[in-house]
Structure 1
Amino acid sequence: MKRAVARRIPAVVAAVALATSAGAALAVSPASAAAGAATGYASQNGGTTGGQGGVTVRATTGTQIHQALCGRAAKDTPITIEVEGTINHGNTTKVSGDSCETAAGVIELKRIGNVTIIGVGGGAVFDQLGIHIRESRNIIIRNVTIRNVKKSGSPTSNGGDAIGMEKNVRNVWVDHVDLLASGGESEGYDGLFDMKDNTQYVTLSYSTLRNSGRGGLVGSSESDRSNGFITYHHNLYRDIDSRTPLLRGGTAHMYNNHYAGLRESGINSRAGAKAKVDNNYFEDSHDALGTFYTDEAGYWQVSGNTFDNVTWSSPDEETNPAGPDPRSTTTVSIPYGHALDQTACVPGIVSRTAGANTGMKESDGRC
């Protein structure tokens, strides 16, 4: 039986007060960031450390999150924001200050750096409220749930993305989160995990993405090829129509993920993208890997994957499925070290470790 390893959040020490631009005072401490280190491509390009070395602040509303950002000495002053409770439109207002650019109805991380947002205690739920990262770097988001973010209907937030990154974003690590919707585009939702306009060095690990029309994209159009160096590992994609993810240009590495119930397509590598796909478990899905809905080809390197009850379309001008006998069409060199779990063990490992409120457990390499 596989034994998962739990990581622990360090205790808060030597409480002080952080005066925010809105006049509020939030408890803080000079503690380091939560335990754990960025993996995959987020560990490259200088690494991703978030708020490590800065103060730690507790927030129970979206407004308090914004106050913590705005109360820093500068836009890159390190800070860890521990979040507990439900964050929603009713408690998330705009806060002004020299070290922030916030907005109501969304957690706005804009033109800032060195920030960790982590759920603690009884858990953190961002209800119908997305997290928007724009022109920022060195951001960590861990142990939170983000659900039902809409782009149409009411209320709307973040263009319908649970987590959205755009314009010159660098080094983001998202870990042990739950991203979910209650339907697809016709119900008002968009992507769960989107990157566009020159977003690079991102890792999504030990997370769940569920019940959505769109898992996520890398590149907003066939011409938006400036994104890349993305790692996805030990994630669960369940009951998703497509985009797990959609790649337009760039390089991505998917390993030890569990994909179940992909209804239309899965990993969609197109417009020159290169996907390295290692030791993933695909089941009860359609067109799990390939180039779909375009005549601009993408490429893949495959190794050790299991395709369990996966069906495949016939090729045509805009459909190039990798199966039914997936073969590599490119080679991809990975610059970081990583250990591959046995593919047969992946569903069990992911079920015990992925998502928020799991103790931030990780694989210990055993089944």
Structure 2
Amino acid sequence: MDISLTKKTLKTAGLASLALAFSPLYAASLEGYATQNGNTTGGAGGNVVYATTGTQINQAMCERADDDTPLIIYVTGVINHGNTEKVSGSCDTRDNEIQFKRVKNLSLIGTSGGALFDEIGIHLREASNIILQNLHIRNVKKSGSPTSNGGDAIGMEKDVYNVWVDHNFLEASGGETSGYDSLLDMKNNTQYVTVSYNHFYLSGRGGLMGSSDSDDQNGNVTFHHNWYDTIDSRMPLLRHGTAHAYNNYYNDIAKSGMNPRIGGSIKAENNHFERAKNPIGTFYTNDMGYWDISGNIFEDVTWSPASKEHPAGPNPVSTTSISIPYSYQLDAANCVKSIVMQSAGSQKGLKTSNGNCGVH
């Protein structure tokens, strides 16, 4: 894609050299629910700026002509509390998280030089048409010091539409008792999201759709080619709404995997579960959800029914039928582990499946 570099470049020493280093824009192809509701293009066609601090990210948002002007922000280096300050103007930014609030048409993309968000999370609120790509976000805490974004690496809440979360590495260093919450949460009317080629690592909670049983306006979310690695639960926890999970790899899952409940429905196709407890089912409640399952590999898994524990196995069958409104490429389940381990996460060259049990 031909990218017109910049009408406005942030003034920091050495940033001009980043023009030679950034990753190709939208090298990965978008599939899933984010293609619906008018599609998701982020900042395509807008100005391109470069940032090495959180303050510069905030400045880039505040310097747009208006809150809808398309913008692509390329990030290199370490973003943390020490280099993130609130910037005033027509924007609504904060100094303890990267907040996209009441904005549209933005892309936040890590360069090939690496973009690490260290103990600082990304929060989307009343936002639409957003792309988050090739970012490493780690150790965001809700308790202890420093705190950020309620302990979520990425959080979306209140009227968030059309978001693509792609090729990111999201990690924590433990669970809630260590001060962390979730790696990816969607709440309070978050719709039309694709979560693709991300590496979720070492966390008590993968993520949820719906923060409570009354939070019933979330859904239409696709999860594909993600790597859930040493996670306790919530992959995702789904209250109400519909999700589509295909070609994901799950290993070392301690408590539960996909958890549709209170009417939530998930279509699970050609996923690979390895060393996982209760990969699919309704857990921690008797308010049942539903699943449409086919082609999944269950390797060295355990199914443990109990009070308020309703696993789909040991002989899992579908309890509903879900129609998917978009086209997508489905890899064979026996290829998923290899494909995902080569391509999921940041700094993997935005590699994707080549449709023939390999990556390109």
Same fold at TM > 0.5: yes
- Assess if the C-alpha contact under 8 Å between 1:33 and 1:50 holds in 2: no
Corresponding residue of 2:113: 122
Corresponding residue of 2:221: 230
3-state SS, counterpart of residue 349 of structure 1: helix
- Assess if the C-alpha contact under 8 Å between 1:81 and 1:118 holds in 2: yes
Aligned partner of 1:52 among 22, 35, 44:
44
Corresponding residue of 2:95: 104
CA separation of 1:110/1:15 partners in 2, compared to 1, >3 Å: closer, same or farther?
closer
What CA distance in whole angstroms lies between the structure 2 residues aligned with 1:227 and 1:14?
Answer: 36
- Give the 5 Å matches for 1:57-206: 57-98=49-90, 100-206=91-197
3-state SS, counterpart of residue 141 of structure 2: coil
Corresponding residue of 1:360: 350
Segments of structure 1 that go 5 or more residues without pairing to the other structure are: 1-9
Q: Does 1:287 align with 2:309?
A: no
What CA distance in whole angstroms lies between the structure 2 residues aligned with 1:35 and 1:347?
Answer: 21
Q: Does 1:42 align with 2:34?
A: yes
Deviation at 1:295, TM superposition (A): 1.1
- Assess if the C-alpha contact under 8 Å between 1:252 and 1:274 holds in 2: yes
Corresponding residue of 1:7: none
- Assess if the C-alpha contact under 8 Å between 1:161 and 1:190 holds in 2: yes
3-state SS, counterpart of residue 201 of structure 1: strand
Q: Does 1:239 align with 2:230?
A: yes
Q: Does 1:334 align with 2:341?
A: no
What CA distance in whole angstroms lies between the structure 2 residues aligned with 1:342 and 1:258?
Answer: 12
Deviation at 1:35, TM superposition (A): 3.6
Segments of structure 2 that go 5 or more residues without pairing to the other structure are: none
Deviation per CA, 1:16-54, whole angstroms, max 9, x where unpaired?
A: 33689xxx9x8799xx95444422001110000000010
Corresponding residue of 1:325: 315
Indicate the percent of aligned positions where both proteins have the same amino acid.
58
CA separation of 1:34/1:97 partners in 2, compared to 1, >3 Å: closer, same or farther?
farther
- Assess if the C-alpha contact under 8 Å between 1:33 and 1:80 holds in 2: no
**Aligned partner letter, 2:152:** D
3-state SS, counterpart of residue 350 of structure 1: helix
- Assess if the C-alpha contact under 8 Å between 1:54 and 1:80 holds in 2: yes
Deviation per CA, 1:164-187, whole angstroms, max 9, x where unpaired?
A: 000010000000000000000000
3-state SS, counterpart of residue 49 of structure 2: strand
Deviation at 1:12, TM superposition (A): 5.5
3-state SS, counterpart of residue 72 of structure 1: coil
Deviation per CA, 1:207-258, whole angstroms, max 9, x where unpaired?
A: 1001000000000001111100000000000111100110000000000000
Q: Give the total of aligned pairs.
A: 352
- Assess if the C-alpha contact under 8 Å between 1:256 and 1:343 holds in 2: yes
Deviation per CA, 1:252-273, whole angstroms, max 9, x where unpaired?
A: 0000000001101110010100
Deviation per CA, 1:103-148, whole angstroms, max 9, x where unpaired?
A: 0010000010000000003110000000000010000000010000
- Assess if the C-alpha contact under 8 Å between 1:18 and 1:71 holds in 2: no
Deviation per CA, 1:85-112, whole angstroms, max 9, x where unpaired?
A: 00000001100111x1000010000010
- Give the 5 Å matches for 1:251-262: 251-262=242-253
